[in-house]
Structure 1
Amino acid sequence: MSLISKLKSNALLKRLALWSIIPANEYRPRLWVKIFLNPFNHTRGRYSIIRRRTKLDVFPFRRFDLGDYSTIEDFSTINNGVGDVIIGKKSLIGAGNVIIGPVQIGNNVILAQNVVISGLNHNYENISIPPVKQGITTNQIIISDNVWIGANSVITAGITIGKHSVIGAGSIVTKDIPAFTVAVGNPANIIKIYNKETNNWEKV
């Protein structure tokens, strides 16, 4: 039996291992994990930039990949504790973004300021227990290549945003957005579609 299998099958060993990686009542890795484990488990592309004031709460047991020439700006939070966070090449994660996995972001994506992208939801159905004690569910978010998401937008769990789509500032995306469309509002609705025959963005 491998070491990982032993940890998973023994509740006490599992709790001890998690305590050694994550401080009690916190959702960030210990300093030794950041220094000695994460650099060997995560992929940083050539010429990628993570600004000094980014809150990089990434753990070695999930993927965190940042593609070539991509940038994560100051005051952003990246957390892969419950799902992989994969960011493609030449993508920009703007200041103050929050990205909680499972999230996959393509190439040449622009996220403006204060965008929230979370593949995590807290369960709430049992009214005799506080939501914080009911566990979580996760659902993969996929943001395709060449997407632009405006400032202060929220992308909810399970959403796919198609290639070369635009999400207007302040939008709340609660359903999939097809490729080559513009969507705005709360909840976000499609207002324009690119017509390949006329080569124009046409209002819906």
Structure 2
Amino acid sequence: MTLISKIKSDPKLKKIGLWMLIPSNEYRPRWWVKAFLNPFKHSRGKGAIVRHQTKTDLFPFRNFVLGDRSVIETFSTLNNAVGDIIIGDDSFIGVGNVIIGPVSIGSNTMLAQNVVLSGMNHGYEDVKVPPIKQKISTKQITVGDNVWIGANVTVTAGVEIGNHSIIGAGSVVTKNIPDYSVAVGNPAKVIKKYNFELEKWEKANNAV
């Protein structure tokens, strides 16, 4: 049994290990974790940029991958405590974005300002316990290649957004969006699809 497996299997050791990584009553890694552990665990591609004002709540027990030439802009928040964050090449994460894993974003994808992608949810079923203290669940969010997500969009846990799809500003995406689609609204609905035979965007059959 490896040391990490032993720590995970022993509740007392696990509690001590987490205390060493995370300050009490906080949800961010200690400074030494960022300085000495994360650089060996996480991967940043050639020319990748994470602005200094970004809140990087990244932990070494999950993955963080930022592809070549991708940019994460000022005042964004990254948190991989409950799931990996994987971002492809030449992608742009705009000002004030919040990305909570598990999240995978493809290449040549751009997210405008104040977009929220959260693969995490809190339970709420037990009314005797506050949601903040109930069990956490996670579902993978997957955003394809060549996607454009407009400002102030929220993408909920478990959603897949297909390649070369566009999500209109202010939308709340609660269901999967197919490839080559335009979706808007709350909840987001597909209003256009690309017709490859005619080589043009067409109004979706269910659009009003």
TM (norm. structure 1) is: 0.99
| Equivalent position of 2:71 in the other structure | 71
Superposition deviation, residue 90 in structure 1: 0.1
Runs of 4+ in 1 over 3 A off after TM superposition: none
Aligned pairs for 1:122-137 (under 5 A) are 122-137=122-137
| Equivalent position of 1:166 in the other structure | 166
Q: Secondary structure at the match of 1:176?
A: coil
| Equivalent position of 2:97 in the other structure | 97
Distance 2:164 2:15 in 1: 44
Structure 1 spans left out of the alignment, 5+ residues: none
1:18-44 Cα shifts (integer Å, max 9, x gaps): 000001111110000000000000000
Q: Secondary structure at the match of 2:158?
A: coil
Aligned pairs for 1:104-183 (under 5 A) are 104-183=104-183
Distance 2:56 2:128 in 1: 34
Superposition deviation, residue 4 in structure 1: 1.1
1:137-184 Cα shifts (integer Å, max 9, x gaps): 000000000000000000000000000000000000000000000000
Aligned pairs for 1:2-41 (under 5 A) are 2-41=2-41
Superposition deviation, residue 203 in structure 1: 1.1
Structure 2 spans left out of the alignment, 5+ residues: none
Q: Which amino acid aligns with 2:170?
A: G
1:84-133 Cα shifts (integer Å, max 9, x gaps): 00000000000000000000000000000000000000000011111111
Distance 2:197 2:2 in 1: 58
Q: Secondary structure at the match of 1:192?
A: strand
1:15-74 Cα shifts (integer Å, max 9, x gaps): 000000001111110000000000000000000000110001100000000000000000
Same amino acid, percent of matched pairs:
64
Q: Which amino acid aligns with 1:139?
A: K
Q: Which amino acid aligns with 1:50?
A: V
Query: What RMSD, in angstroms, separates the aligned Cα atoms of the two structures?
Result: 0.5
Aligned pairs for 1:51-66 (under 5 A) are 51-66=51-66
Q: Secondary structure at the match of 2:163?
A: coil
Distance 2:157 2:66 in 1: 21
Distance 1:9 1:143 in 2: 34
Distance 1:103 1:51 in 2: 20
Q: Secondary structure at the match of 1:104?
A: strand
The alignment covers a number of residue pairs equal to 204
Q: Secondary structure at the match of 2:78?
A: strand
Distance 2:58 2:40 in 1: 12
Superposition deviation, residue 185 in structure 1: 0.4
Superposition deviation, residue 5 in structure 1: 1.7
